[in-house]
A and B are shown apart, each in its own frame.
Chain A
């Protein structure tokens, strides 16, 4: 287990280094930060002085070294717009995004698993065909259309649900602003998480169905039938566990897609999370915030995929991680 964690940490460091380099290089190309900061009334000399002070005249590599040094101390720069540490700004928005993703993920699992399994067990059934049709539709409709339609009907036409924002939040454990524990927060969560789930579910339905069909053809399932085990046991215990192996892996990779979709969802529903923050940062050319966001997202990606690998090892006895005792 230890060697596994160490190897993963090394990978994480490499990934983050690459991301930080990329995002740093972007920073330099996003226009002149001094102009963003001081406006037009400041003289050229003063600007030059400010440049020197900020270290913007140093060679790129020196600047990058400085950036890394500060990053190691947990300082990813100060946001031009918020005039605050970028990490603090992001940390304030993190709970909103995590809660949105979590709810979407729960919805995806709750919908994709039974639908995928059903479609695999009854391939000729009309319901299975409609599930597949729905999933093709879901795959091809972009999230902003889904979100706008949902918003139009549920928020505007029928006035059932709020259309923007997070609603009331409660403080949990002193540092987490949560919308999961009161009705208003949950109502606000509904539309965004359903839209997010709507675009994520189809791929999992298809994946689970295809895998399950394969698994149901296998020798061990035939042997399970010959043991006289009940059908639900065969489908949901013998077959599903084997089906889930590739699904878990793809799930980890889909984290990236999920993060990308949160940017869109949050912008549409004015959801005060990281994605919305990122869009704002882009429009304001808030370069430090943009690169900090990229690094944090990279970190999230690496952490989720590590967790996914650990879970995979727990589910699949054949790939017990080296040194990880059964």
Chain B
């Protein structure tokens, strides 16, 4: 899963969808996860990196990660297999 190509992301974590004019602000964890996603890392790789670096259990990460992905999908910010075609 990757961020849609047309979405602009700044270093500060500001996301802009130029097709809808909607903008979003990510916190530092959001920026980190998104960066890892864009590097092509999958869920398990991201989970490993985050739980190693931060004091967070796998279950908490799992919940927060899925919430985050849900928000990205809800706002049409990510490219899933079904939207790639």
Physical interaction between A and B: no
